[in-house]
Structures are given as structure tokens and as C-alpha cells.
Amino acid sequence: MTLHVRNPGPLTTVQDRGRPGLAHLGVPRAGPLDRPAADLANRLLGNDPAAAVLELTLGGLELTSDRGVWVVLTGAPAPVEISGTVRRHAHAEWLAAGDVLRIGRPSSGVRSYLAVAGGVDVEPVLGSRSTDTLAWVGPPRVEAGSALPVGDSEGRPAPHDTPRPPAPGPLRVHPGPRADWFAAGALDALCATAYGVGAASNRIGLRLEGPPLERVRTGELASEGMVLGAVQVPPDGRPVVFLADHPPTGGYPVLAVVEPADLWQCAQLRPGETVRFRRA
């Protein structure tokens, strides 16, 4: 079975659970930015939890299938149509052979997840089907004309008693390893500020705008290993939250690290929206 892409929208990539454990080789982990939404999509179809899905940035995807298959869209609530008929969000829908699936622009949030029964079965790279947008390791970004193979379906759609993603709230943070590079109370200042999401935010990092955090050391920090959720502070004092495609190393001090369970919220923040932090 194959999905045939007519329009990929602004950015559509294939994502499974990523390739953690390869940072020592300089390879980012990748994987879905909104992990709970991707997991929900697979649960609703009875897929293996590690099945690959499509991550859509601001919708716009249009595709067909050469065979009938169950599909579901989760994450940012975008309009779903199959051959002109409106279908539901976060609900398994039947895509018959030759029907056209269209995903509109979401009313809120940024990233939606399209799962297909059996999973997107592109060739793995370094053990994962995830696309990394920093080094472009993994399958290429989805383009018009892309043909995406689909795996064999082993489960059945299961819409009942399916756990939903958690409710949003402030991002909980743990102290980082470089507090000595900042003025006293810098972590409290981070948690007391409402930051705006910068337009340059992407799968690599959430770039924030607001009052700069004061540094007391201005020299160069030798590059060191970075972790998912690291809150790195460049010389301009405005924090960056490292996301799934973050570089394995970095040379700016890390003031805090976001609780992993809260990172999904960063996937759905639009430029100009606000985000807050609180101590874990």
C-alpha cells in the first residue's frame, strides 16, 4: 500500500520515536515534537507505539492512497476532509482507495500528526524512520509527488478509553549545570517572566523573546553535551529551549532543563504566543 502526496503543506516530515543514544556520533534524536499527540494517533488505530507518523506544520497536506486504509489526525486541531466530506479530528476515519485526504490549517497550535494503520513504512536510517531537520538525517522531507509505503496493519481502530494528552501549563524546569554563569536569582527571573515565542522557532529550538537574563561571565564556554529540553542562554540573554532536532553539543551556558513530560507544549506554541516556566 502506498500514500501519494499531492501537496505537503509548509513542512511535513516522517517521525517515529527517534534515534536516541547517538549523540556521541553527532546525530540528533529527532522524533515528534508533540510526543503525546503522536502516541495518541497510533493508539487510536491500534498501531505499534513505535509506528512512524507524519508530522504536519500548520497543516496543508493533501494525499491519496492506492488502497483503503484507516487514518487519524491528532495534535493541532486542523480541518479534515476526505473527498470533500468533513471528517473528525482525533477519530479514526476510512480513506478509500483513490479518495483525497485534505488537512487544512489548524485553528490553534502548530503541529498535527497523521497516522495510518500499519504506519508509514519508509526505509529506516540508523534504526529510525524519523527525519532530523538539523543535519537531515533520515528520510527526506515529504514533497509533492512523494510516494510513502504503508506497513501491514496488525491492530484495529480503538477509539474507546484512550488516554488523551495532558493539559497545558507552565513548563516545569530543573536547575541547569551552569548557574555560576548567571547573576544570582537568574532561575527565579526565568520563572517570573512571560516570554514571547520568536518567529525563528523550529524543530531545533523554541526561541524566546523578553527581558534578557543577566550573565556574570561573558567568556566563551567550551562546547559540551546538550540534552533535550536544555534552556540555553546565548550572549543576548534570551533563552532557547532545545527540542527534538537540537545539536548534540553547544557552547552557551544552560541555566535550566525543562521537564520531559512538558516539552510537547513547545510543539504547539505559535510565534507571538507566551510561555512561562516554574520550578519542578
Tens-digit pLDDT profile for residues 178-205 = 989 999 999 999 999 999 999 999 999 9
The Cα 72–Cα 91 span in angstroms is 6
Average pLDDT over residues 101-122: 97
The pLDDT score that the predictor gives to residue 163 is: 74
Average pLDDT over residues 156-168: 75
Q: Identify whether residues 39 and 115 lie together within a single domain.
A: yes
Q: Identify whether residues 136 and 7 lie together within a single domain.
A: yes
The pLDDT score that the predictor gives to residue 275 is: 97
Give a yes or no: residue 165 inside a domain: no
Q: Identify whether residues 68 and 10 lie together within a single domain.
A: yes
SS3 content of the chain, % helix, strand, coil (to 5): 10, 30, 55
Give a yes or no: residue 106 inside a domain: yes
The pLDDT score that the predictor gives to residue 124 is: 97
Q: Identify whether residues 145 and 175 lie together within a single domain.
A: no
* Matching residue, cell 548567571: 182
The Cα 113–Cα 40 span in angstroms is 9
Strand 61-65 with 2-8, pairing: antiparallel
The counts of H helices and E strands in the chain are 2, 21
The pLDDT score that the predictor gives to residue 155 is: 73
The Cα 103–Cα 106 span in angstroms is 9
The Cα 242–Cα 205 span in angstroms is 4
The pLDDT score that the predictor gives to residue 159 is: 66
- Which domain range does residue 223 map to? 171-279
Q: Identify whether residues 141 and 240 lie together within a single domain.
A: no
Give a yes or no: residue 257 inside a domain: yes
Give a yes or no: residue 228 inside a domain: yes
166 pLDDT higher than 90: no
The pLDDT score that the predictor gives to residue 71 is: 97
Percentage of residues in the chain having pLDDT higher than 70: 99
Listed in sequence order, the DSSP H helices in the chain are 35-45, 186-192
Average pLDDT over residues 115-139: 96
Q: Identify whether residues 113 and 145 lie together within a single domain.
A: yes
Q: Identify whether residues 113 and 184 lie together within a single domain.
A: no
* Count of positions (residues) in the chain: 280
Q: Identify whether residues 39 and 144 lie together within a single domain.
A: yes
165 pLDDT higher than 80: no
CA-closest candidate to residue 34, choices 3, 8, 13? 13
Name the least confident of 110-119, 152-161, 258-267: 152-161
Percentage of residues in the chain having pLDDT higher than 90: 89
Give a yes or no: residue 179 inside a domain: yes
pTM of the model: 0.95
Average pLDDT over residues 21-50: 93
Looking at 149, 183, 210, the residue that finishes a domain is 149
The pLDDT score that the predictor gives to residue 161 is: 64
Q: What is the mean pLDDT of the chain?
A: 94
The pLDDT score that the predictor gives to residue 123 is: 96
Residue 248: CATH number of its domain: 2.40.100.10
The pLDDT score that the predictor gives to residue 233 is: 95
The pLDDT score that the predictor gives to residue 108 is: 95
Give a yes or no: residue 162 inside a domain: no
pLDDT band at 225 (very low <50, low <70, confident <90, very high): very high
Q: Identify whether residues 69 and 124 lie together within a single domain.
A: yes
Q: Identify whether residues 194 and 144 lie together within a single domain.
A: no
Q: Identify whether residues 269 and 220 lie together within a single domain.
A: yes
The pLDDT score that the predictor gives to residue 205 is: 97
Number of domains composing the chain: 2
Looking at 114, 149, 184, the residue that finishes a domain is 149
Q: Identify whether residues 41 and 108 lie together within a single domain.
A: yes
188's grid cell: 527565579
Looking at 94, 115, 149, the residue that finishes a domain is 149
pLDDT digits (tens, 9 = 90+) for 241-258: 999 999 999 999 999 999
The pLDDT score that the predictor gives to residue 25 is: 87
Give a yes or no: residue 160 inside a domain: no
Give a yes or no: residue 163 inside a domain: no
